[in-house]
Amino acid sequence: MAKQKILKFPAGFLWGVSTSSYQYEGGNVNDWSEWEKSKARLSELKKQGKNPDDYISGPACDSYNRYEEDLALVKNLHCNAYRLSLEWSRLEPEPGQWNMAEIEHYRKVLQAAKADGLKISLTLWHYTLPLWLARQGGWTDKNVSQYFSRYTELIVKELGQYVDYWATFNEPFVVLGFGYLTGKFPPNRKLALLNALKVTRNFLKAHKQAYNIIHGAIPAAQVSLTFLTAYVEPANIWNPIEWAIAKIINYFRNDYFFKRVNGYFDYIGVDYYHHLRIVWYPPFVKNKNKLLSDFGWEIYPEGIYHVLMDYKKFKKPIIILENGVADARDKFRSDFITEHLRWVHRAISEGVEVLGYFHWSLLDNFEWADGYAMKFGLYEVDRQTFKRTARPSAELYAQICKNSEVIVD
Ligand code: BGC
């Protein structure tokens, strides 16, 4: 039998799970809930032979009501950190009108998490928008950064004391790409290039303004955003075309946003799921696909190491705020976690300052355009009763978090 090795993580390492409001809470009314019910969406699902009911977020995981139960699960996992997002549409259902009852709700959630000794990673925006804002153009609206600033000011004032790590945005370029180029997400625009430019500009501006607002009120705050990173490599390093395409894709997937907001982030929020092995012919990506998740995404743990090593150039600490796998039968998840952490540990041992790892996700949840079919949870959720049941990988993750170490062969 191969000899096992114990890889210890640094003292104070954050071990967490990652969640988001729309995918968990249930009962939200925003641009997504509206789009799910739109004629265009329903007829598209019908064409694909899919049952529309599986693509309506509806009650999600009912975490709005069951947050205490969820926090107990986080504790069962021996996590010392928890990532959640706020639902802007709940907090500001009409322009400039705050729903203070919802502030109180989030205060209770954050206080309960704090009482459990958890460090909080709070995301201000995870893909969804209040309806009023979506109707006036969403991320293309010329005043959107001011609206986001106004919302940020409220959160800093009301809830800032509970937050350890701020993320203004979760993966702005996912909404840019799916919302304005491929049309897979609302507002469902295809190849809307001019709008895509506006959206980019507004995200950059809104992030910088929010960074200043948070720091103005809480000078020691740790503020960043998350980015959906990818390990991009040419299939053949000696092929100049593949090399050049890989460079360009790498720039936009991993570097562009952080370079444009240089001076406006205190750490780097990494979400890692994807490996892109670039070839010179369409569709330009050809992975070896030895292991595939239920989503059809290649499982490629080594990639996280390359992403982390590459981010050394920014000379900022890194927090892995998402990494996980769609795996309904829990066939891969334990190895997935172990192997990714093996590579994270290697990056740390080679000088990358990684402050923490948050697994996506605590529970099976609403997986956006893919509805409820994709199961990312350490805990399974019964869609009728909402009962949460631990998958075997939850036990492994709990051991890792408890001992702050991973055992590898
Ligand atoms: C998103 C999550 C999503 C996960 C899996 C991430 O990019 O932030 O909301 O559920 O990917 O697709």
pTM of the full structure = 0.98
Q: How far is the centre of ligand 1, averaged over its atoms, from the C-alpha of 30 (Å)?
A: 18
Q: What is the H or E stretch that residue 230 is in?
A: strand 223-234
Q: What is the pLDDT of residue 201?
A: 98
Cα distances (angstroms) measured from residue 63 to each of 19, 20, 77, 349, 388: 10, 10, 17, 38, 11
Report how far residue 377's alpha carbon sits from residue 73's, in angstroms, rounded to the nearest whole number: 12
Averaged pLDDT, 366-371: 97
Closest atom, ligand 1, to C-alpha of 360: 4
Report how far residue 152's alpha carbon sits from residue 160's, in angstroms, rounded to the nearest whole number: 10
Task: Decide if pLDDT at 375 tops 80.
Answer: yes
Overall domain count for the chain: 1
pLDDT by residue (tens digit) across 55-91?
Answer: 999 999 999 999 999 999 999 999 999 999 999 999 9
159 confidence band (pLDDT: 50, 70, 90) = very high
Q: How far is the centre of ligand 1, averaged over its atoms, from the C-alpha of 363 (Å)?
A: 13
Closest atom, ligand 1, to C-alpha of 295: 12
pLDDT by residue (tens digit) across 295-344?
Answer: 999 999 999 999 999 999 999 999 999 999 999 999 999 999 999 999 99
**Structural domain boundaries, residue 114:** 5-408
Q: What is the pLDDT of residue 11?
A: 98
Q: Are 293 and 273 in contact (CB under 8 A)?
A: no
Residue 331 dihedral angles phi and psi, to the nearest 5°: -75, -35
Structure tokens at 61: 């995981």
Task: Decide if pLDDT at 33 tops 70.
Answer: yes
Ligand 1, pocket residues at CB < 6 Å: 20, 23, 170-171, 174, 228, 271, 322, 360, 367, 376
3 confidence band (pLDDT: 50, 70, 90) = confident
Helix-strand-coil split of the chain, %, nearest 5: 45, 20, 35
Q: What is the pLDDT of residue 371?
A: 96
Task: Decide if pLDDT at 134 tops 90.
Answer: yes
Angle among Cα 347, 352, 355 to the nearest 5 degrees reads 100
DSSP 40-54: HHHHHHHHTT--GGG
Measure CA 266 to chain center. Answer: 18
DSSP 288-345: --SSB-TTS-B--THHHHHHHHHHGGG-S-EEEEE-----TT-SSHHHHHHHHHHHHH
Instruction: Give the ranges where 238-281 is alpha helix by DSSP (H).
Output: 240-250, 256-260
Report how far residue 308's alpha carbon sits from residue 82's, in angstroms, rounded to the nearest whole number: 21
Q: What is the pLDDT of residue 1?
A: 59
Task: Decide if pLDDT at 28 tops 90.
Answer: yes
Q: How far is the centre of ligand 1, averaged over its atoms, from the C-alpha of 240 (Å)?
A: 33
Q: What is the mean pLDDT of the chain?
A: 98
Structure tokens at 102: 């919802």
Phi-psi region of 221 (alpha: psi -120 to 50; beta: other; left: phi over 0): beta
Report whether the peptide linkage leading into residue 52 is cis, meaning its omega lies within 30 degrees of zero. no
DSSP 147-192: HHHHHHHHHHHHHGGG-SEEEEEE-HHHHHHHHHTB-SSTT--BS-
Q: Which one of 124, 175, 322 would you pick to mutate in the ligand 1 pocket, going by the greatest count of ligand atoms within 8 A of its CB?
A: 322
Residue 38 DSSP code: S
pLDDT by residue (tens digit) across 206-242?
Answer: 999 999 999 999 999 999 999 999 999 999 999 999 9
Closest atom, ligand 1, to C-alpha of 174: 7
pLDDT by residue (tens digit) across 237-294?
Answer: 999 999 999 999 999 999 999 999 999 999 999 999 999 999 999 999 999 999 999 9
CATH number at residue 230: 3.20.20.80
With 0-12 / 13-18 / 19 or more C-beta atoms within 10 angstroms meaning exposed / middle / buried, residue 320 is buried
pLDDT by residue (tens digit) across 289-309?
Answer: 999 999 999 999 999 999 999
